[in-house]
Structure 1
Amino acid sequence: MGIGSLLKTAAASVGGVLFVSYLGFIKPLKYYGRMAAYVMCVLISATYGVLLSAVLVFVGKRRLVQHLVARFFLCLTSVVMGIHMKVENAETLTNTRPAVFISNHQSMLDVLVLGAIFPPYTSVTAKKSLKYYPFLGWFMWASGSVFLNRTNRANALKAFEDAKVEIKKYKQSVFMFPEGTRSHAFSPEMMPFKKGAFHLAIQSQLPVVPIVVSNYSRIWSQPHNHISTGTVPIRVLDPVPTKGLTAADVDSLIAKVRENMLKASTELGYAQATS
C-alpha cells in the first residue's frame, strides 16, 4: 500500500472516530468530535462568505455580507450542534441604526451567538493595517468592516476619525466586545471593560446598545472539555444615548453600561444543557 493510500485510510479512520464521538458513542472523545463539527461549520460558512461577498460587492450590497454570513452560520450550526439562541427584545437590534453594539465575550461559541444578534448593516472592527493584507484584508473590505487606526495611541479620539466618517456616511453600525478577550467565565460575571467602544460611540454620537448573553458554561466550556446541547438566553438592553457626551464622560458611561449588563447577567443566570 502506498503512502497516499495510507494517508487516506488514516484520515478516514480519524474522521470515523470523530463522527461517532460527535454522536456521543465514545464519551471521552465527545468534546473533540463536537469541536470538529463546529470548526467544520466555521469553514463552510467562511467559504460561503467569500462567495457571497463577491456577489454583493458587484450589486452594491457589500455591507450586508457579515449579517448574512452570521445568519447562515446560525442556521447551519444550530442544527449540527443542537445549540439554540433565545433573544429577548430582538426588535432593538433592527430599530437602532447606526449604533455601537456591545456584548460580553465568553468563548468561541460567541461566533454562533453573533448569528442571532448581528444586525443588518453592521460590521466588526479591525486594525486599519489589516485592510492591506492579501485575501483577509480584501474580504474584510468586501464585507464592509470598519477599520480603526489603533497605531494612534497618543490620542484615542483621533484613532477613530476614519471609522467615524464611514459610520456616518453609510449609517454603518459596529459590533465590539468591550472585555477585549474571552472570559471563559463559570458564573454570570464580566471582566473589566476597555474604553475603545465607548470612545467610538461618544465621538460618533451614537447610542450604545448592550447585549447580554447568559452564562453558558454548562453547555460549552473549553477549560472543562465540555460541549452539550441546549438553549442560550440572550437579552438586548435599551440603547444608552451619547448625545452631548464628551471624552470626559467615557468612564461614567462605561460604569453605567457595565452595571446594567451585570444586573441583566445575574437575572439571566445560567443557560441549561439538555443533554
Structure 2
Amino acid sequence: MRAVLALAFIAITTFGLPAPAQNAFGDSDPVDFPRPAPQDFPIHGIDAARFQDHIDWRRAKRAGTRFAFVKATEGGDLLDAEFATHLNGALRAGVPVGAYHFYYFCTPPRVQARWFIRHVPKRRGMLPPVLDMEWNHHSPTCQHRPNGAQVRKSAKIFLRILENHYGQRPIVYTTPGFDRDTGLTRLRGYDFWLRSTAETPAQTFPGQGWRFWQYTGTGLVPGITGHVDINVFNGSRADWRRWLSQNLN
C-alpha cells in the first residue's frame, strides 16, 4: 500500500496534475489523449440540449456530474424545447448549471442578447451565461460568414449586454476551426470553454488558456440515455470551489 501511495504521489507531483477524476462516466469512442488527459482532471460535467430529452439529474450527479451547461436559445427566435426542464432538473439536484446561447450570424447581436435575457432567469445556483460561437454548416437559412473583426465586434456587444444584465462575466465557447477563421480567442478578460475532441487544447489551441474543455461528444453518463458531451474544469477541487465562489449566482 505504501508503494502504491508513493507512486501516486510521484505521478501527481512529477506531472503537476490534480488528483484524478472519480466518476462513472464512459465513452463509446474514446481517444487516447496525451497527458494531461481528461481523467487527470477531477471536476467533470456535461452539456445538454433537446437531443437529451430525459435526464435523471440526481443519478447523473451521483455518477460524478459536477456542473452542466444547457442550451437555452439560438438566434433571435429559437428556444430549446428542453431548456426549462434541464435547468429546473439540474437546480433541484444541486448541480451548478449555466445556460448557453448558440449564435446566429444573420441576426444582430443586440436582438439575440434580448432574446436570451427574455428566456433565461436570474436564479441562485446558476453559472455564468455562455456565448457559443461556431460555424453552423447545416443551417438552411444562414450561410453568412463574417470576417474575424466583425465576429469579435458582435461577440463583444452580446457579451457586454449579458454581463450588464446578469452581473456575471460570460463564458465563451468555440471550436478549433472557428477560432482559426476568426481569432475569437483574441478576446481578453473572458473564460474560454474549448471544444477539442481529437487532441488536447494545448495541441489544438496552442498557447491559449481555457477554463472548460469539451473532450467528447460520445460520452456515456448514468442517468442520461444515449450520448452526451462531457467536459472538464481546468483545475483542482480547491480551484473549482474557489472559482464557484467567485462566479456562481
Same-fold status (TM-score > 0.5): no
The higher-RCO structure (CA 8 Å, 6+ apart) is 2
More strand, by proportion: 2
Q: Which has the larger radius of gyration?
A: 1
Q: Normalising by the residue count of structure 2, what TM-score does the alignment of the two structures yield? A: 0.31
Question: TM-score scaled to structure 1, two decimals?
Answer: 0.28
Q: Which has the higher helix share?
A: 1
